[in-house]
Amino acid sequence: MSLSPNTPLLKTKNKTVEELKLYDVRMKTNLAKHIITACMNKTINRNNISDNDFYIEAHNYITASTLLMSTILAKIDNKDKPKTFSDWFEELSWEKSEELNNDTQFLDIPLRECIINHYLSMQCIPSKVSICDYLKNKGINITLQQIKKILIIKGYKTQRLPRNNATIIVEDPEQRFNIMKYLYKILQFRELELHIVYIGEKINKGTDNSMTLSFVAVSSLMGVISRKNQKTSLATNVTQIMESRDDWVLNNVLQHLCIKSVIILENCTNDTKDQIPMIDSKKSDMINWLQKCDIPHSSEMHSAELFELIKRSIRTLSSEKHKIEEICAAYGHKVLRRPRREQYLNIFETFSNFENINTNNWKNLELNLIEREKKIYREDAAVDEIIDKVLTYAKYGTIPYIYTHKCDEGIDEIKMAEIVKI
């Protein structure tokens, strides 16, 4: 909100930051009291907004406008039930199931394009409503409620603007860091002209309660290095698939690599790591996690015993994850893990069947991937810079209401996620 020229505070230049913040809180609280009183007494004049007490009070604090007053009236008329802490907790700890992730993979590219387009082309802050409208214009039929869940699946969160009720949609800081780290490293390896080997994996579900795991290792220099198809049960979990893939890489792929190479693996452990139960988690959640990681346990064990087993297992899983890095390093190779959620960085998404991969089509695909990685790196850096400027300006300056009235409102999910962990 922008301060009105009539505000007495603006005539006093020697106010400290603390005094400005205190004044801001007092004026907002006073304005809220007037709105509540008008609602309780049912004395709102909708025909002439300027006759309302809260309009006069708002005009003393900000530059009151028809748009602002209309927004206040719309919120007063809103019959939606306010969210409780339990509602927010449920959204933040909402299960990101593998099945739902697969169903929404086609949205990876259009959702990213939408966010980038808002910040860089339209030069506005994206909201859930504007994202929904953008995707609908692209022919994707989707509801606002689905958008909220998809943003959670794809690792996006809301971050509240300082001194404001408005929130902006940003990528989870840890996820953004992993993406930028991956892009920075892969670009470095390309500049050094290192031999890059891509490991692809695909799961095809059968009709007889089974599934087929397909692995392929390929590079532009050597073409298809090795392939593997393995039939297994549908009960096979992510950890077992990862172990099967890593064993194949160590026992089959490495023996064909005569020069120092960089091996690109999909980071299959992200989802398991993100959902590690805490000490106050439900016993059923602890048991589900242990089953998913194929860790022996008993349902008769106490929650404290299960959590102790989880803590020991985390260290084991971490060491197992780095096992392939250590062995490859002994042969002079490097391992780079590609973030799993970002399927627009997965070169193998083009193929429904790895048997169709050959040297000719692979070289063209890798050239396109190189350009895509450079473009993503530039775009993400530009968006990060804009978001930093918005947050800084909101903290130390004043963002005009016209730029924030269409923003989402709600809690700071980044801070709330840390509270939930505690």
Q: Classify strands 195-205 and 261-266 as parallel, antiparallel or unpaired.
A: parallel
How far apart are the C-alpha atoms of 259 and 331, rounded to whole Å? 10
What's the confidence (pLDDT) of residue 260? 92
DSSP H or E run through 197: strand 195-205
Decide: 317 and 269 in contact? Cβ < 8 Å. yes
DSSP H or E run through 26: helix 17-41
Instruction: Please provide the DSSP assignment of 239-291 as one string.
Output: HHHHHHHHHHIIIIIGGG--S-EEEEEE-TTHHHHHT---TTS-HHHHHHHHH
The verdict on residue 114 lying in a domain is: yes
The verdict on residue 239 lying in a domain is: yes
Shared domain check, 329 and 198: yes
Confidence of residue 346 (pLDDT cuts 50, 70, 90): confident
Shared domain check, 325 and 218: yes
The verdict on residue 357 lying in a domain is: no
Shared domain check, 325 and 228: yes
Last residue in a domain, options 56, 77, 98: 77
Range of the domain at 214: 177-341
pTM: 0.65
How far apart are the C-alpha atoms of 15 and 83, rounded to whole Å? 37
- The count of other CB atoms within 10 Å of the CB of residue 158 is 21
The verdict on residue 370 lying in a domain is: no
Shared domain check, 195 and 164: no
Whether residue 85 has pLDDT greater than 80 = no
Last residue in a domain, options 29, 55, 77: 77
Shared domain check, 193 and 226: yes
Q: Which two three-digit tokens encode residue 279?
A: 């000490």
Total number of residues shown for the chain: 422
Shared domain check, 23 and 105: no
Q: Rounded mean pLDDT of the chain?
A: 76
- Between 298 and 106, whose confidence is greater? 298
Shared domain check, 90 and 168: yes
Shared domain check, 167 and 199: no
The verdict on residue 15 lying in a domain is: yes
The verdict on residue 238 lying in a domain is: yes
- The count of other CB atoms within 10 Å of the CB of residue 45 is 12
The verdict on residue 351 lying in a domain is: no
Q: Which two three-digit tokens encode residue 139?
A: 């022919």
Last residue in a domain, options 296, 314, 341: 341
Collapsing DSSP to helix, strand or coil, 200 comes out as strand
Give mean pLDDT, residues 336-361: 79
How far apart are the C-alpha atoms of 155 and 157, rounded to whole Å? 7
- Among candidate residues 171, 356, 333, 366, the one with its CA nearest the CA of residue 263: 333
Shared domain check, 96 and 64: no
Shared domain check, 65 and 32: yes
What's the confidence (pLDDT) of residue 86? 52
- What digits encode the pLDDT tens for the residues 142-191? 888 788 888 888 888 888 888 777 888 888 888 888 888 999 999 999 99
Give mean pLDDT, residues 311-315: 72
Spatial neighbors of 134 by CB under 8 A, at least 6 apart, are 114, 117, 118
Decide: 102 and 340 in contact? Cβ < 8 Å. no
Q: Based on the structure, what is the number of domains in the chain? A: 3
- Between 69 and 202, whose confidence is greater? 202
The verdict on residue 291 lying in a domain is: yes
Shared domain check, 137 and 122: yes
Identify residue 193 by its one-letter amino acid code: E
- What digits encode the pLDDT tens for the residues 259-305? 999 999 888 654 444 467 777 778 888 888 787 777 888 888 888 88
How far apart are the C-alpha atoms of 16 and 8, rounded to whole Å? 15
Instruction: Please provide the DSSP assignment of 63-74 as one string.
Output: ---HHHHHHHHH
Q: Using a pLDDT cut of 90, give the percent of the chain over it.
A: 11
Cα–Cα separations (whole angstroms), residue 87 to 12, 83, 92, 254: 43, 6, 9, 49
- The count of other CB atoms within 10 Å of the CB of residue 139 is 7
Shared domain check, 326 and 190: yes
